[in-house]
Structure 1
Amino acid sequence: MILKSPGCDASTSLRWLVAITPLVGAIGFPLAIPIVMIRIGVGVGIGLTLVLSLLWFIVMLKTAEMPH
């Protein structure tokens, strides 16, 4: 029987976030931008591109696993 420590859930969710962040950005970004450009407009699509890429970049830096 394996006992989980209290901090195990936070570590697991962080690892899940680290694993899924590149996938969400690589798949969701190219799908969302053209849909927004078609339905709302090119200007809004460009603005959304800037905002999403900035947020994705920040999340990627925050969740990066680098040696200390």
Structure 2
Amino acid sequence: MPGHRSVSVGVYCWAPEVPYVNERRGRAVKKLLLVALAAIGGLLVYRQIQADRAEQDLWTEATDSVPSGSGV
């Protein structure tokens, strides 16, 4: 039986697996890596957008013609 332990010369060993099992496992790993890379990419884009917004807010505050505490 592929994928099950067999007794060989008194030592437990694993029989070779069916090729399609390794192929399916490879596809699953590739999909998982793709999802992980997409999540990391999304996080980096989100952080860059937040940094750009913070910088824009800082420039808006620095170049505002009326100071916020003037009461005008």
TM range (shorter): 0.3 to 0.5
**If each structure's strand is expressed as a fraction of its own residues, which one has the higher value?**
2
TM-score of the superposition, structure 2-length normalised?
0.34
TM-score of the superposition, structure 1-length normalised?
0.35
**If each structure's helix is expressed as a fraction of its own residues, which one has the higher value?**
1
The higher radius of gyration belongs to 2
